Amino acid sequence: MYIESVQLKNFRNYETLELNLDRETNIFYGDNAQGKTNILESVYLCGTTKSHKGSKDREMIRFGQEDAHIRMMVKKDGLSYKLDMHLRKNKAKGAAVNGLPVKKARELFGIVNLVFFSPEDLNIIKNGPGERRRFLDLELCQLDQIYLSDLAGYNHIVNQRNRLLKDMYANPALKDTLDVWDHQMLRYGKKLIRKRQTFVEELNEIICDIHKNLTGGEELLQVIYEPSAQEENFEELLCRNRDRDIRMKMTSSGPHRDDLCFLVNGIDIRKYGSQGQQRTAALSLKLSEIYLVKKKIGDTPVLLLDDVLSELDSSRQTYLLDSIHDIQTLITCTGLDDFVNHQFHINKVFRVVKGEVFNPVKKVNCKQQ
């Protein structure tokens, strides 16, 4: 699986753009604030219907325009797919596959798998639980079409239940309808808990060896799933917390309160790890994501690296670059020095200046002669 081409119209700072990509390494270099990350964002958005930044549709439309369009050609199992994403300021986004409109994100499932790695991901360990849940959900939504549907259903139920809890303050009689929402919440929530637990177990099978290699065998990394409620006691917990939920006007237990714990040699590095340990664990996590996708779908994902090399030391740069040699990769950076220093083979280079992409140079071999 690989992306053949990307076309943009009125997306972010691009009026128009047409890119033909190489099947292996594609480098986008230039100064900061020129539009390099916007290219990666457009690819991720077209493949998943979501921005990696969580941006709203209207924020991604070029200033002064009413809509934006992204088209991406994908080659998978010998077949070509044309993915179209239409962003509108005052309407829901529209998507199409080979010219046929799709109504829900899950209809894009399985066409293209993407792994996005940005400097912000290096802080996933020290940031709050919301970031770690987001990692879980983004990954599982790409791997499991049913999870995507269950997550959407669960989030809708939680929002409706929270609204009811607020309305009950003025109208206590609404309490009788709480059981209906609780029943639905349990139905969806138990599925999410079960699938998250399985995902973390599979992740641990991969991440342990990667982290050992990254740290020269000195550190043992283990990821622990910390559910707000266990599948078997979710119903009991929901009933026990009902009075508190009514008092606080919010749902206090369920998968929307889950977290991930990262143990290095038995120590919780969320609280007690150094910044170096946290960043190394985050790098192990993202590399594990690549191998897990490959294991699940039997094909390599497309890797999007957004200026990550500048945040890593030399040994971690080397390990990362050695890990991606057989994967289609789109990399943004401010210069090519890191690739020259690591003797890294580049297939295509694009220079980005103020929303324009200049003269791609093919087959740049940075290996020393």
Domains of the chain and any CATH numbers: 1-113+299-369 (3.40.50.300), 125-298 (1.20.1050.90)
**Are residues 13 and 23 in contact, defined by beta-carbon separation less than 8 angstroms?**
no
3-class secondary structure, 155: helix
The residue type at 261: C
pLDDT at residue 302 in the model:
95
Q: What is the DSSP letter of 228?
A: S
Does position 369 have pLDDT exceeding 50, yes or no?
no
**Are residues 89 and 61 in contact, defined by beta-carbon separation less than 8 angstroms?**
yes
User: How is residue 143 written in tokens?
Assistant: 């791997």
**Are residues 49 and 319 in contact, defined by beta-carbon separation less than 8 angstroms?**
no
Q: What contacts 147, CB < 8 A, 6 or more positions away?
A: 140, 141, 191, 192, 195
Percent of the chain with pLDDT over 90: 67
C-alpha to C-alpha distances, 209 to 124, 221, 273, 288, 355, nearest whole angstrom: 20, 9, 19, 10, 41
How crowded is residue 252: how many other Cβ atoms within 10 Å of its Cβ?
15
pLDDT digit string, tens, across residues 270-291: 999 999 899 999 999 999 999 9
Mean pLDDT of all residues in 75-92 = 92
Where residue 365 falls among pLDDT bands split at 50, 70, 90?
low
Q: Of 75, 86, 101, which Cα lies nearest the Cα of 49?
A: 86
Does position 253 have pLDDT exceeding 80, yes or no?
yes
Mean pLDDT of all residues in 216-220 = 93
C-alpha to C-alpha distances, 347 to 225, 278, 281, 356, nearest whole angstrom: 39, 32, 29, 20
3-class secondary structure, 25: strand
Where residue 344 falls among pLDDT bands split at 50, 70, 90?
confident
Mean pLDDT of all residues in 107-118 = 86
In the chain, DSSP assigns E strands to 2-11, 14-20, 25-29, 67-76, 79-88, 94-97, 100-102, 114-117, 221-226, 259-264, 267-268, 302-306, 329-333, 345-353, 356-365
Cα–Cα distance, 225 to 227 (Å, whole number): 6
Percent of the chain with pLDDT over 70: 96
Percent helix, strand and coil across the chain, each rounded to 5?
A: 45, 25, 30
In which residue are the tokens 């609404």 written? 174
Does position 339 have pLDDT exceeding 90, yes or no?
no
Does position 189 have pLDDT exceeding 50, yes or no?
yes
pLDDT digit string, tens, across residues 9-56: 999 999 999 999 999 999 999 999 999 999 999 999 999 888 888 788
pLDDT at residue 81 in the model:
95
pLDDT at residue 361 in the model:
57
Q: Tell me the pTM.
A: 0.88
Does position 353 have pLDDT exceeding 70, yes or no?
yes
Report which of residues 187 and 173 the model is more confident about: 187
Residue 193: phi, psi to the nearest 5?
-60, -45
In this structure, the chain runs to a length of 369
For residue 266, count CB atoms less than 10 angstroms from its CB and return exposed for 0-12, middle for 13-18, buried for 19 or more. Answer: exposed
What does pLDDT average to over the chain? 90
pLDDT at residue 116 in the model:
92
Q: State the number of CA atoms in the 13 A half-sphere of 344 facing the CB.
A: 28
Mean pLDDT of all residues in 60-66 = 93
Mean pLDDT of all residues in 257-280 = 95
How crowded is residue 63: how many other Cβ atoms within 10 Å of its Cβ?
7
The residue type at 368: Q
C-alpha to C-alpha distances, 75 to 26, 224, 243, nearest whole angstrom: 16, 36, 54
Does position 368 have pLDDT exceeding 50, yes or no?
no
